[in-house]
């Protein structure tokens, strides 16, 4: 009887210690107490990557204990132990590393030429072949009302090198809710999944400031980066005489390894104020444009961690105007150099998850790498309810 009792204790102990627990972290600015969005969180034990949402929140499941690394381009990095997370919502305060007095770096070469060489080297260094497990999320708003939503868990298998990247996509699970007006082309539904990874790996979004004529259209400034002595920041802003809509760019790059670690761009209010409104049928008056990608250098690997894209514009029709906003997120939750095995008929070849039949096997969005905010949860619930 004692032997049975001891065996029971061993089994009970095994399941007890191996039990998976849910942990939550809320990241806040140490001075303003405001939530910190777009911080990258790495669970060192499992190598799972997460991204903080607009509430600064990250939720994940963990078997056992692990160190957790938190990084953000505007804050000092921190490492916390999961065993120290005792509360339902554990607040971690981050100290800003932003210094407006960062030294401007004067170079013999024009900064654009330096940027070109950094982009070329980054493309060469990106790890391929490789596999990225990605969580994608998309919100669509028409005339101020959210009308469509989709998300999915996808595997991207990357092959090729040097501007010839190719991706094969397998969709593990997905869901799609809402209806799109027939007047709205499906092309505005954010990501074209067939070429999105190639665009990120070829740094396509930097092309406007890499063209020869861009030297006369933009101002290029390189600064040191107080948060990391190995990093530089390049700020590229449209010149005042520009009458076209042009983004402001911020590129953070590793000056030793010569690779890009972050790219962000947006249209400034000043630029929008100087832009003439279009009235031709079929034209689009853009009033918001935000883009951000984060890359990671880890040992010998270099790959995309996340992206965010937002666009808002007024679409001109013959007899009316329609206001459209699209917001997309893209988070690499796991990275591997191991290829996955698949059958050709399993490959996803459509442009978007729009129109793809829902395939929900688990509540995958709860461990997606990007926790929904309370506001987003309400939006999803409303759209899903209207779809039935």
Q: Higher pLDDT residue, 126 or 105?
A: 126
Q: In what helix (H) or strand (E) does residue 270 lie, and over which residues does it extend?
A: helix 269-273
What is the pLDDT, as a whole number, of residue 20? 74
- On the CB side of 140, how many CA atoms lie within 13 Å of its CA? 23
The overall average pLDDT reported for the chain is 87
pLDDT-derived band at 74, boundaries 50, 70, 90: confident
The whole-number average pLDDT for the span 286-297 is 93
pLDDT-derived band at 346, boundaries 50, 70, 90: very high
Global confidence as pTM: 0.88
Judge whether residue 204 has pLDDT over 90: yes
**Strands lying side by side in the sheet with 166-178:** 166-178, 145-159, 130-142, 321-336, 301-316, 284-298, 259-266, 248-254, 231-238, 218-224
What does the alpha-carbon distance between residue 251 and residue 268 come to, in Å, rounded to a whole number? 16
pLDDT-derived band at 101, boundaries 50, 70, 90: low
pLDDT-derived band at 184, boundaries 50, 70, 90: low
For residue 190, the 8-state DSSP code is S
In this predicted model, what pLDDT tens digit does every residue of 12-63 receive, in sequence order?
A: 444 444 467 888 899 999 999 999 999 999 999 888 999 999 999 999 888 8
The whole-number average pLDDT for the span 170-175 is 95
* 9, 14, 16, 18 alpha-carbon torsion, rounded to 10°: 180
The whole-number average pLDDT for the span 324-336 is 93
The whole-number average pLDDT for the span 322-350 is 91
What is the pLDDT, as a whole number, of residue 242? 64
CB 267 within 8 A of CB 247: yes
For residue 126, the 8-state DSSP code is S
Q: Of 55-64, 67-76, 272-281, 301-310, which gets the smallest average pLDDT?
A: 272-281
What is the pLDDT, as a whole number, of residue 360? 95
pLDDT-derived band at 353, boundaries 50, 70, 90: confident
pLDDT-derived band at 2, boundaries 50, 70, 90: very low
What is the pLDDT, as a whole number, of residue 100? 60
What is the pLDDT, as a whole number, of residue 190? 57
What is the pLDDT, as a whole number, of residue 8? 40
What is the pLDDT, as a whole number, of residue 4? 45
pLDDT-derived band at 365, boundaries 50, 70, 90: very high
What is the pLDDT, as a whole number, of residue 182? 56
What is the pLDDT, as a whole number, of residue 189? 55
Q: Of 53-62, 88-97, 180-189, 338-347, which gets the smallest average pLDDT?
A: 180-189
The whole-number average pLDDT for the span 80-89 is 86
Backbone φ, ψ for residue 148 (5° rounding): -150, 145
pLDDT-derived band at 175, boundaries 50, 70, 90: very high
- Report how far apart the first and last C-alpha atoms of the chain are (Å, whole number): 57
**Range 284-304 burial, b when 16+ CB lie within 10 A, else e:** ebebebebbbbbbbeeeebbb
What does the alpha-carbon distance between residue 119 and residue 44 come to, in Å, rounded to a whole number? 29
What is the pLDDT, as a whole number, of residue 388? 66
Please state, in angstroms and as integers, the Cα–Cα distance from residue 47 to each residue in 121, 151, 262, following that order: 26, 22, 20
Judge whether residue 243 has pLDDT over 60: yes
Looking only at the bridges linking them, the beta strands covering 248-254 and 259-266 are: antiparallel
The fraction of the chain above a pLDDT of 70, given in percent, is: 90
The whole-number average pLDDT for the span 199-216 is 95
Q: Going from the N-terminus, what domains does the chain have, and what CATH number goes with each? A: 15-94 (2.60.40.1120), 111-387 (no CATH)
Name the one residue in this structure whose structure tokens are 């809710």: 177
What is the pLDDT, as a whole number, of residue 21? 80
What is the pLDDT, as a whole number, of residue 16? 44
């Amino acid at each position: 009887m004692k032997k049975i009792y001891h065996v029971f204790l061993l089994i009970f102990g095994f399941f007890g210690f191996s039990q998976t627990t849910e942990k939550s972290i809320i990241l806040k600015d140490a001075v303003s107490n405001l939530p910190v969005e777009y911080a990258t969180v790495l669970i060192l034990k499992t190598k799972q990557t997460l991204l903080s949402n607009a509430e600064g929140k990250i939720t994940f499941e963990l078997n056992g204990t692990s160190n957790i690394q938190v990084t953000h381009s505007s804050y000092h990095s921190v490492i916390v132990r999961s065993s120290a997370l005792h509360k339902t919502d554990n607040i971690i305060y981050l100290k800003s590393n932003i210094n407006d007095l960062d030294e401007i770096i004067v170079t013999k070469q024009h900064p654009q030429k330096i940027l070109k060489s950094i982009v070329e080297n980054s493309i060469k260094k990106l790890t391929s072949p490789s596999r990225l497990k990605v969580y994608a999320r998309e919100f669509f708003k028409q005339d101020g009302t959210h009308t469509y939503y989709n998300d999915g868990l996808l595997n991207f298998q990357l092959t090729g090198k040097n501007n010839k990247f190719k991706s094969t996509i397998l969709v593990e699970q997905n869901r799609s809710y809402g209806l799109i007006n027939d007047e709205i082309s499906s092309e505005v539904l954010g990501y074209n999944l067939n070429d999105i990874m190639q665009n990120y790996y070829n740094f396509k979004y930097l092309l406007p400031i890499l063209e020869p004529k861009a030297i006369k259209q933009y101002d290029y400034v390189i600064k040191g980066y107080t948060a990391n002595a190995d990093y530089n920041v390049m700020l590229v802003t449209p010149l005042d005489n520009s009458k076209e809509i042009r983004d402001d760019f911020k590129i953070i790059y590793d000056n030793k390894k010569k690779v890009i670690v972050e790219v962000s761009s947006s249209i400034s209010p000043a630029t929008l104020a100087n832009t003439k409104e279009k009235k031709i049928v079929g034209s689009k008056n853009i009033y918001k444009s935000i883009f951000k990608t984060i890359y990671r250098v880890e040992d010998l690997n270099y790959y995309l961690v996340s992206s965010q894209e937002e666009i808002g514009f007024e679409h001109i029709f013959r007899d009316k105007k329609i206001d459209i906003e699209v917001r997309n997120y893209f988070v690499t939750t796991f990275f591997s150099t191991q290829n996955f095995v698949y059958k050709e008929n399993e490959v996803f070849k459509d442009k978007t998850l729009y129109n793809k039949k829902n395939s929900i096997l688990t509540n995958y969005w709860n461990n997606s790498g990007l926790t929904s905010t309370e506001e987003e949860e309400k939006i999803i619930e409303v759209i899903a309810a209207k779809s039935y």
